[in-house]
Amino acid sequence: MDIQTITDKINYKTARVKKLQAEIKALETKKTQLENEEIINTVKSIDIPISELKNLLTSLKERNGEI
C-alpha cells in the first residue's frame, strides 16, 4: 500500500465520520425536541395553572429526596 492510497482512505473515512457526526447531532436535536414536546403535552394534560406548576415540581423533587 502506498502513501497516496492510505491518504485517500484517511480522507474517505474522515468524511464518513464527519457525516455520521452530523447525523448524530441531528438525531440528538430531534430527540430533545420530541422530549420537550412530550413534557409540554404532559404538563398541559394535567390542567393546572402555570403559577402552581413550579410548586408542584418542587414538591415532587423534594419528595424524591433530591433537594
- Cβ neighbours around 42 below 10 Å, total: 9
Section 40-58 average pLDDT: 86
Q: Taking the complete model, does pTM exceed 0.75, yes or no?
A: no
Q: Which residue has the cell 390542567?
A: 47
User: Which residue stretches of 1-67 are H helix?
Assistant: 3-46, 50-63
Quick one: DSSP state of residue 18?
Answer: H
pLDDT at 45 over 80: yes
**How high is the mean pLDDT of the chain?**
92
The conformation of residue 65, written as its DSSP 8-state character, comes to T
pLDDT band for position 10 (cuts 50, 70, 90): very high
Model confidence band, residue 43 (pLDDT cutoffs 50, 70, 90): confident
Q: Dig out the grid coordinates for 17 from the structure.
A: 465520520
Q: Looking at the predicted structure, is the pLDDT value of residue 6 above 90?
A: yes
Residue 26 phi, psi dihedral angles, 5° rounding: -65, -40
